[in-house]
């Protein structure tokens, strides 16, 4: 980890290998400069970084235990034993053997998790570290559904209140920025296959000790290989005829496909996002160049 503020920063490794990330970004800068010198001022050039990057601070390791404690349930003994066995196997077994045993491990995972989840109202499902994913044990959808459809609104409101009350015990600040319902953002025939709620973590500090009046205290240390991860904030630059110097506010990553289609004179069907006005009037469609 190149960031000296990150808890997994290795100063010796950094001294030995240097800073390859910085070297790559400088090479990208040089390449962009070469592109700009190769085109005239009437050509629209767009440079887009579709995501940001930052430290991989996440509370996903805590989430399933948090949900159990909110419900007043304890994890079954078999779940803890299986988790310890997997960690030990990762430490002592060669990768080749672990690979051969993956299918068996997944089947055992499914059986153990099923025994844990069947009597719960909701549970954590695997997701990336940017947010925690929660699925409701919904009657009529899950095999042993415990929550009636009419109860989902009340469950969400209570769960959101309890999760927002969580505190990072190392900073005193909140752990959760918000809890959202998937159905408020996604539509379609396969919506029921997605998690029902997402927990948006506050990712400005390591999340290793958390607590609240309802769940007590929890301590876990991040064991993942990814010390960094994507962030929703990103940047883009544009230069060309009609592009005015300054900052363009309120642009979403979803706006770039409609923008480039409009510049190329291509009609899109149903889509998210809208053309970026500051760019669509900046160049003729046959003069567009894009670097992303």
| Residue 282 reports pLDDT greater than 60 | no
| Cα torsion 9, 11, 15, 17: sign | negative
The total of other beta-carbon atoms located within 10 Å of residue 231's CB is 13
Domain annotation covers residue 6: no
Between residues 285 and 86, which one has the greater pLDDT? Answer: 86
Q: What is the mean pLDDT of the chain?
A: 84
What pLDDT, on a 0 to 100 scale, did the predictor assign at position 99? 80
Domain annotation covers residue 270: yes
Tens of pLDDT, residue by residue over 88-106, are 777 777 878 778 777 777 7
Question: Which has the closest alpha carbon to 86: 113, 118, 60?
Answer: 113
What pLDDT, on a 0 to 100 scale, did the predictor assign at position 222? 66
Tens of pLDDT, residue by residue over 13-32, are 777 778 888 899 899 999 99
Between residues 113 and 170, which one has the greater pLDDT? Answer: 170
- In sequence order, what are the residues at sequence separation of 6 or more whose Cβ sits closer than 8 angstroms to the Cβ of residue 56? 129, 222, 224, 226, 227, 228, 229
Residue reference for tokens 């887009």: 48
Domain boundary (179, 196, 227) is at: 227
Tens of pLDDT, residue by residue over 183-199, are 999 989 999 999 999 99
- In sequence order, what are the residues at sequence separation of 6 or more whose Cβ sits closer than 8 angstroms to the Cβ of residue 97? none
Mean pLDDT of all residues in 256-275 = 87
| Residue 159 reports pLDDT greater than 60 | yes
What pLDDT, on a 0 to 100 scale, did the predictor assign at position 104? 73
Range of the domain at 130: 58-73+121-227
Is residue 44 located within the same domain as residue 138? no
Tens of pLDDT, residue by residue over 198-252, are 999 998 888 999 999 999 999 987 666 677 778 778 889 898 878 888 888 888 8
Is residue 130 located within the same domain as residue 215? yes
């Amino acid at each position: 980890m190149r960031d000296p503020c990150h808890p997994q920063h290795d100063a010796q490794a950094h001294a030995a290998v240097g800073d390859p990330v910085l070297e790559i970004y400088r090479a990208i800068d040089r390449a962009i400069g070469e592109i700009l010198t190769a085109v005239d001022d009437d050509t629209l050039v767009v440079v887009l970084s579709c995501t940001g990057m930052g430290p991989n601070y996440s509370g996903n390791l805590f989430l399933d235990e948090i949900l159990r404690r909110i419900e007043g349930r304890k994890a079954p003994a078999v779940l803890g034993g299986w988790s310890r066995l997997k960690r030990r196997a990762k430490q002592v077994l060669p990768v080749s053997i672990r690979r051969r045993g993956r299918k068996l491990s997944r089947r055992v995972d499914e059986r153990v998790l099923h025994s844990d989840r069947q009597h719960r109202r909701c549970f954590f499902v695997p997701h990336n570290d940017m947010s925690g994913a929660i699925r409701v044990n919904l009657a009529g959808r899950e095999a042993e559904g415990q929550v009636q459809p009419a109860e989902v609104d009340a469950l969400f409101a209570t769960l959101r209140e309890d999760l927002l009350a969580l505190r990072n015990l190392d900073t005193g600040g909140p752990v959760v920025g918000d809890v959202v319902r998937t159905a408020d953002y996604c539509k379609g025939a396969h919506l029921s296959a997605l998690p029902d709620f997402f927990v948006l973590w506050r990712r400005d500090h390591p999340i290793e000790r958390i607590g609240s009046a309802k769940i007590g205290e929890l301590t876990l240390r991040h064991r993942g290989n990814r010390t960094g991860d994507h962030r929703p904030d990103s940047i883009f630059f544009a230069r060309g005829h009609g592009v005015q110097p300054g900052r363009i506010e309120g642009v979403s990553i979803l706006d770039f496909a409609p923008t480039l289609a409009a510049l190329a004179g291509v009609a899109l069907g149903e889509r998210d996002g809208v053309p970026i006005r500051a760019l669509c009037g900046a160049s003729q469609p046959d003069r567009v160049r894009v670097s992303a």
